[in-house]
Amino acid sequence: MPALNINFSDEELAAVRAAAAAEGKSLKQYVHDLPLRERQRALFVRYAAAFGDQHRAEFDEAFPDEVPPAAAGAGGAEAA
């Protein structure tokens, strides 16, 4: 099975150990899970942003007072 050696400073390693302990995981399991969780998070954010873009007009129509001023045509020049 492939392995990976990762160098951490003493402070970084202490922080990673604390994070692993907070999740009730071994250091090895915690570090193993991090890139997998990050991939899931990135996919979620990408799909959530796409969903928001697809339904923005619906939301703006349903909640006209929530449209940001720049998008509503009010511009941002008044803040200057």
Average pLDDT, the chain: 88
Output the pLDDT for position 72. 55
C-alpha 26/C-alpha 50 separation (Å) is 36
Q: Against a cut of 0.75, is the pTM above it? A: no
Residue 16: predicted pLDDT: 97
Please check whether residue 20 is in contact with residue 29, taking contact to mean a CB–CB distance below 8 angstroms. Answer: yes
Cα separation, 36 vs 40, whole angstroms: 6
Mean pLDDT of 8-30: 97
Residue 36 has pLDDT above 50, yes or no: yes
